[in-house]
Chain A
Amino acid sequence: NAGVTQTPKFQVLKTGQSMTLQCAQDMNHNSMYWYRQDPGMGLRLIYYSASEGTTDKGEVPNGYNVSRLNKREFSLRLESAAPSQTSVYFCASGGVAGETDTQYFGPGTRLTVL
């Protein structure tokens, strides 16, 4: 039981490049989330998916797109990376759609945009 997995662990991009961060969970959770963590800012929600087939914007969605590929997988795409997107990205999953359940986090992806 791997929990929440994320790939890659580290990535360096040049301004304007695109990339997709992958996230998968094997806990049969309905809800999945993408956060970014910046120094002194805590975790801020980018997008979430309350259930398969739905996605919604969080606090800081600009510059990102997401895809809920199936119940297990939720990807985050940067179409044209900017230095302001340098951050640590965490994926999380939770239990029941629409209910407040504990979120379990992946190990994170450290992204640097030059």
Chain B
Amino acid sequence: AQKVTQAQTEISVVEKEDVTLDCVYETRDTTYYLFWYKQPPSGELVFLIRRNSFDEQNEISGRYSWNFQKSTSSFNFTITASQVVDSAVYFCALSAVMNSGYSTLTFGKGTMLLVSP
């Protein structure tokens, strides 16, 4: 069965620090997808990135970067020069093929990031 582990329950940093959120996954699928979502204090879930298992290139989007390493089953998320607006709960998710044959997502329990001024 698919499983996503976000071992860091809560991280506190001071503005401008870099921070890395860890995500480790387990799957038997040979093709799968990994996702990160952000949930700010307002409560909505915001999609950040989707990565397929064949693409191990790191990705950078502004202050955000993602490191996908198939060898260690990890898909870590780094925020460079953190800002107060980055304070949120971040979820890592993994695609899962259900018994019906259709795919859905399995989520980790989330990491709460608190950035203080």
Known: A41-B109, A42-B109, A42-B110. A100 touches B44 (CB 8 A): no
User: A102, B47: Cβ atoms under 8 Å?
Assistant: yes
Total A-B contacts with CB atoms under 8 angstroms apart? 56
User: A102, B44: Cβ atoms under 8 Å?
Assistant: no
Q: Shortest Cβ distance from B114 into chain A, in angstroms?
A: 16
Q: Which residues of chain B (5-32) have a CB below 8 Å from chain A?
A: 9, 32
- Interface flag for A98 (CB, 8 Å): yes
Q: Shortest Cβ distance from A53 into chain B, in angstroms?
A: 13
Q: How large, as a class, is the contact surface on chain B?
A: 20 to 34
User: B47, A100: Cβ atoms under 8 Å?
Assistant: no
Q: Which residues of A contact B100 (CB under 8 A)?
A: 50, 56
Q: Shortest Cβ distance from B51 into chain A, in angstroms?
A: 11
Q: Whole-angstrom distance between the alpha carbons of A13 and B95 in the complex? A: 34
- Interface flag for B101 (CB, 8 Å): yes
User: A105, B45: Cβ atoms under 8 Å?
Assistant: yes
Q: Which residues of B contact A99 (CB under 8 A)?
A: 103
User: B47, A56: Cβ atoms under 8 Å?
Assistant: no
Interface residue from A40, A88, A92, A97 paired with B109 (Cβ < 8 Å): A40
User: B102, A48: Cβ atoms under 8 Å?
Assistant: yes
Q: How large, as a class, is the contact surface on chain A?
A: 20 to 34
Residue-wise, chain B 29-53 has the 8 Å CB interface mask toward A (1 for contact) of 0001101010000011101001000
- Interface flag for A43 (CB, 8 Å): yes
- Interface flag for A15 (CB, 8 Å): no
Interface residue from B4, B43, B50, B109 paired with A107 (Cβ < 8 Å): B43
Which residues of chain A have a CB within 8 Å of any CB of chain B? Answer: 31, 33, 35, 40-45, 48, 50, 56, 58, 88, 90, 92, 97-100, 102-105, 107-108
Given contacts A33-B104, A40-B9, A58-B98, 20 further A-B contacts (CB under 8 A): A31-B102, A40-B109, A42-B4, A42-B110, A43-B91, A43-B107, A56-B100, A88-B43, A97-B102, A98-B101, A98-B102, A99-B103, A100-B32, A100-B33, A100-B103, A103-B105, A105-B44, A105-B45, A108-B43, A108-B44
